[in-house]
Amino acid sequence: MAGGTLPGTDADDDAGSDRVVFHVDMDCFYASCERLRRPDLVGEPVVVGMGYEAGETIGAVATASYEARAFGVESAMPISEALDLLPRRADADPDDPDAPDPVDAGRYVPVDLDFYKEVASDVKAVLRDCADVVREVSIDEAYLDVTDRTAWDAAGDPDDPPPSAASGPAAARTLAEGYARHVKQRIEREAGVPASVGVAPNMSTAKVASDADKPDGLVVVPPGEVAPFLASLPTADIHGVGPVTERTLAEMGIETAGDLAAADPDRLAEELGERGPDLHRRARGDDDRAVTPTGLPKSLSRESSLSATADEETKRETVRALAADVARRARERGCLYRTIGIKAVEPPYEVNTRARSLPGPVDDPDLVESVALDLLDEFAGDRVRKLGVRVSKLDFAESDQATLGGFEPGDGAREGRDAESGRGAVGTGGDGGKLTDWIGGEPTGAESDEDDETAADRRTGDGQASLGDWS
């Protein structure tokens, strides 16, 4: 699609200016997940971490809500230091004159990665539905190339477009802005957590834009405005500049992205190696990297939210439709599957999974439906608010399909349900149905072009410790 440009901009100012790239970054993701199932935490200073439980003496903060950050609590901070800055609400006894003031106390919640991955799977399902190309960077961050879904054309009357409602340098509203708002709204509606989205003609600028107006932000940087948008920002805001590189640049007299863009590339190469010229180009808004998927998926799934219902026909019709769609997507991608599973979410947010392993890899839409409906029978009479169907243990290589003689959909053990934790318990039969299996192809840790910093510095742009630091 050859998208247009905004009035007053030059399409030649930015290489590949017709590209539309979104960077989606979840806001304080772990804390947002906790607020999803515990609404009483909304508006409270929330610290998600490990090490403050009884008997524990060592731990660190995984993420802190913006309210907690106001007290100085940061991700990767030792829990002991966080507790000095923000005492636990549980320790705030109004009858004890030496106890902390409840107004100056926070809510400490232990890390629950299985639950966060479950919410992340809902987010990723939206992203994969909204973009043909998705690069998942971590549990709470992804790039989308939506060039074939939208454009930089002005919305409404091209001669008199409405003013932009997003933050950033965009003066007029574009189709790209409207589509980004649609993606944000779908994430909040279907996954229940807020996201910030940066919109730009390239990956590095979209990454910077998503950090520019948190939380729940939308920043649009149209073609022709990339370099001016970046120029006044500190070097730390440029994608790929960590604390070590920031200090090195400061020693060179380079404090802003504009300084970095004007610096001698040869001198940068001398100080920073190959990364020097790369950062120089990014500071100028020159980034021609393609958004590429990060490997083959581990599973394919489809989910549908419902008004909480126990109606069996409604549940079965939903599962039939989901099974048909998942089987179609598997066939389109040329993959076989060895496991078929379902997910049932009971109000308010009790997640249960069931899965059944097959003798070998198959491509059989009728079998997907049959097994999924058989697994659904285990929830007869139960109210559900969401249903999902998944095929996993994918085989993309050319191989003979398994002979299914003797396979009975009713075989296999039922998993137990852990109602107290709100997570499906791992069973002993079949695939085990672990929640982590619902997230396919999800890398963890920092991208390869980031600084090689210490664990304390490995955090996302939103200040959250990366999943790799906690798993």
Q: What is the DSSP letter of 397?
A: S
Torsion of CA 434, 366, 394, 317, to 10 degrees: -40
Sign of the Cα torsion 10, 15, 20, 22 reads negative
Q: What is the spatial distance between Cα 383 and Cα 352, in angstroms, rounded to a whole number?
A: 12
Q: How far apart are CA 397 and CA 407, in angstroms?
A: 23
CB atoms within 10 A of CB 8: 10
H-run or E-run covering 277: helix 275-283
> What would you report as the CA-atom Rg of the chain, rounded to the nearest whole angstrom?
24
First-to-last alpha carbon distance for the chain, in angstroms, is 41
* Helical packing angle, 275-283 and 265-272, nearest 10°: 130
Active site residue 141: yes
* Active-site entry in 67, 141, 246, 415: 141
3-state secondary structure of 299: strand
Q: What does the block give as tokens for 357?
A: 């392993």
User: 3-state class of 341 per DSSP?
Assistant: strand
Q: How far apart are CA 47 and CA 106, in angstroms?
A: 7
Q: Give the C-alpha distances (Å, rounded to integers) separating 446 from 137, 140, 352, 455, 461.
A: 8, 12, 31, 11, 11
Nearest of 146, 151, 224, 152 to residue 186 by alpha carbon = 146
Q: Please provide residue 179's backbone torsions phi and psi, each rounded to the nearest 5 degrees.
A: -70, -40
Q: Which of 314, 112, 282 is nearest to 201 (CA)?
A: 282
Q: Which two tokens stand for residue 272?
A: 């920073």
CA distance to 92, 123, 293, 467, per residue, from 463 (Å): 27, 19, 25, 12
Q: Which amino acid is at 71?
A: F
Q: Which residues of 50-70 are buried (b: 16+ CB within 10 A; e: fewer)?
A: ebbeeeeeebbbbbbbebbbe
Pair 81, 51: CB distance under 8 Å:
no
Residues recognised as catalytic: 141
